[in-house]
């Protein structure tokens, strides 16, 4: 169910060929031809003129490119770009956000996993919160369990909590979950969090937090960043992260800690 929060709608600045939207949402896509719920994205942009989407095809080897071409042809607020070779989620999100800021005037940008495990009504909820409160410059969803609404498989929950504990020690911030696949940020902060390449393809979210703290400090974080617990999660399965990569995560976390501390 989509909540009826009204957003302010800003007119296009003179000389801007595109329709001004409040938020450009980047969706990294690696071999998503069978998983991408194109109908849901299309219905959402039709209902909510304040959003545009930029899909990043990350060197997919299935029919993702053809699918994106078809769905983006159906709306002037759905776009796609292609990376010539598979570069991993971090690089796809980074390139997508940099491109979004370059191409579109939206004051906010976001990213969202293609599988819509975090549904579009949740995206709308967090974006509405950010847009309506000028104090919030960065917001991130988190997977706090809620019986019957946010249920996580036990293995994933335990892994997530272990990672979260280590992350909290590294960041020295009272954050519950840094890894949820939906974050919204003000456009002027994109060059700070996305300027350099990331160390880790899957823990890059933690690097975003470190970069913000490095630039603005922890007090800024307390005032201008907001954690928004998910109200609904749709577990889709079919995770793209490999077992081999899971084993590498502690080392990557250590490397991130060493780099930013
Ligand atoms: N660009 C890129 N995106 C990826 C890659 N692997 C996964 N993704 C994207 O990252 C998002 C999250 O992937 P998913 O498999 O749902 O991960 P999980 O649910 O967090 O385990 C999806 O939008 C994927 O298409 C990759 O190698 N490259
Ligand atoms: Mg997923």
The percent of residues in the chain predicted with pLDDT above 70, rounded, is: 92
> What pLDDT score was predicted for residue 11?
32
23-260, what's its fold?
A: Spore Coat Polysaccharide Biosynthesis Protein SpsA; Chain A (3.90.550)
CA angle, residues 239, 207, 226, in degrees to nearest 5 = 85
Length of the chain: 261
Strands (E), 68-221: 78-83, 108-112, 138-142, 182-186
Nearest CA owner, ligand 1 atom 13: 240
Where along the chain do its domains lie? 23-260
- Tens of pLDDT, residues 18-43: 457 999 999 999 999 999 999 999 99
Predicted confidence band of residue 223 (pLDDT cuts 50, 70, 90) = very high
Say which ligand is closest to the CA of 179: 1
Whether 17 has a pLDDT exceeding 50, the answer reads no
Query: Does the pLDDT value for residue 182 go beyond 90?
Result: yes
Q: In whole angstroms, what is the distance from residue 113 CA to residue 197 CA?
A: 19
| Other CB atoms within 10 A of residue 192 CB | 15
> How close are the terminal C-alpha atoms of the chain, in Å?
42
- With cut-offs at 50, 70 and 90, classify the pLDDT of residue 6: very low
Distance of CA 213 to the CA centre of its chain: 19
Mutation test residue for ligand 1: of 25, 30, 62, 177, the one with most atoms within 8 Å of CB? 30
Integer Cα distance of 71 and 123 in angstroms: 19
- Does pLDDT of 61 surpass 90? yes
Mutate to test the pocket of ligand 1, among 25, 37, 89, 236 (most ligand atoms within 8 A of CB): 89
- 175 contact partners, CB below 8 Å, separation of at least 6: 142, 164, 167, 168, 209, 227
Ligand nearest to the CA of 159: 1
The distance of Cα 228 from the centroid of its chain, to the nearest Å, equals 13
pTM higher than 0.95 for the full model? no
pLDDT of res. 238: 65
Ligand 1 contact, 32 CB (< 6 A): yes
Closest to 146 measured CA to CA, from 237, 235, 236, 230: 230
More confident residue, 246 or 161: 161
Q: Is the pLDDT of residue 236 over 90?
A: no
Rounded Cα gap, residues 153 and 199, in angstroms: 28
User: How high is the mean pLDDT of the chain?
Assistant: 91
Q: 256: part of which helix (H) or strand (E)?
A: helix 243-260
Question: Is residue 14's pLDDT more than 80?
Answer: no
Element (H or E) spanning 90, and its range?
A: helix 89-103
Pick the more confident residue, 7 or 180: 180
């Amino acid at each position: 169910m989509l909540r009826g929060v009204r957003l302010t709608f800003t007119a296009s600045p003179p000389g801007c060929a595109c329709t001004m939207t409040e938020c450009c949402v980047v969706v990294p896509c690696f071999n998503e031809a069978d998983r991408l719920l194109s109908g849901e994205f299309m219905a959402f942009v039709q209902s909510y003129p304040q959003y545009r989407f930029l899909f990043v095809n990350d060197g997919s080897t299935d029919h993702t490119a053809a699918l994106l071409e078809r769905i983006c042809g159906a709306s002037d607020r759905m776009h796609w770009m292609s990376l010539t070779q598979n570069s991993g989620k971090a690089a796809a999100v980074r390139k997508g956000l940099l491109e979004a800021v370059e191409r579109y005037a939206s004051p906010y940008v976001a990213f969202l996993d293609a599988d819509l495990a975090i549904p579009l009504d949740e995206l709308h909820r967090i974006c509405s919160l950010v847009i309506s409160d000028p104090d919030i410059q960065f917001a991130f969803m988190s997977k706090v369990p809620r019986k019957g609404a946010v249920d996580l498989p036990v293995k994933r929950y335990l892994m997530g909590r272990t990672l979260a504990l280590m992350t909290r020690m590294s960041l020295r911030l009272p954050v519950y979950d840094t890894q949820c696949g939906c974050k919204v940020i003000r456009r002027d902060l994109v060059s700070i969090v996305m300027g350099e390449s990331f160390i880790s393809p899957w823990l890059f979210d933690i690097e975003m937090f470190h970069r913000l703290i490095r630039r603005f400090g922890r007090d800024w974080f307390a005032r201008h960043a907001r954690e928004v617990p998910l109200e609904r999660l749709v577990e889709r399965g079919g995770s793209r992260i490999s077992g081999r990569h899971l084993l590498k995560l502690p080392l990557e976390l250590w490397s991130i800690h060493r780099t930013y501390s």
